[in-house]
Amino acid sequence: MTEYFDWVDRHDQVIGITSREDAHRLNLYHRAVHLYARGEKGGLILQKRSLSKDVEPGRWTVSCSGHVDRGETFLDAAIRELREELGVSVGRSDLVALLHSDPSPANGYEFVRSYEVLTPVRPVYNPDEISELCEITLTGLDDWMKREPASFATSFRALFPLARKRFSAIR
């Protein structure tokens, strides 16, 4: 099934509709969300992307992420992605905006809004999207990223340091 979403200009204004395939093949600007959730121990939950993913399979990245569907808000997409990928239902007040990143080659030409999930979660992940989850302290993650940067998705390496500065609850 072909996935379609809004194609946007450099000012994040909708200028048309594009398929996922065309957006990625032609480097068209589009929208996505990244979510940072903490587990029951207080650490950051990371996902390892499924090997069946077309972009950076098998790499570690944010707790969950996804494209913003046609006509959907960033916040609505964040709530939907948490439910679809991690089986977690939250309300709008459970999310806090961390940053809004402009498109670049490092983030797949996406306007990315990153959110922190304020309440601890107990995820049940979708194996079509995710092959593995882990919960890690921020210090442990910093060390891991220094030792094995290639284990992490390009967008995670680019955006995590910016989001990390704004975490309120994650240790």
Averaged over successive runs of 10 residues, the pLDDT of the chain (171 residues) comes to: 92 96 96 96 95 93 96 96 95 95 95 95 92 96 97 97 88 79
Q: Supply the pLDDT for residue 114.
A: 97
Q: Which of 47, 63, 66, 52 is nearest to 163 (CA)?
A: 63
Whether the full predicted model's pTM is greater than 0.75, yes or no, is: yes
Q: Please tell me whether residue 70 adopts helix, strand or coil conformation.
A: coil
- Kindly list the domain boundaries of the chain, sorted by start residue: 32-99+106-164
Give the type of residue at 124. V
* CB-CB contact of 47 with 35 (8 Å): no
Lay out the sheet containing 64-67: strands in order across. 64-67, 30-37, 110-117, 95-101
Other beta carbons within 10 Å of 84: 14
Q: Supply the pLDDT for residue 140.
A: 96
Q: Name the superfamily (CATH) of residues 32-99+106-164.
A: Nucleoside Triphosphate Pyrophosphohydrolase (3.90.79.10)
Token pair 């220094």 is at which residue? 146
Consecutive H or E run containing 130? strand 130-136
Q: Which of 122, 120, 118, 33 is nearest to 78 (CA)?
A: 33
The secondary structure of the chain in percent helix, strand, coil, rounded to multiples of 5, reads 30, 30, 40
Q: Supply the pLDDT for residue 103.
A: 97
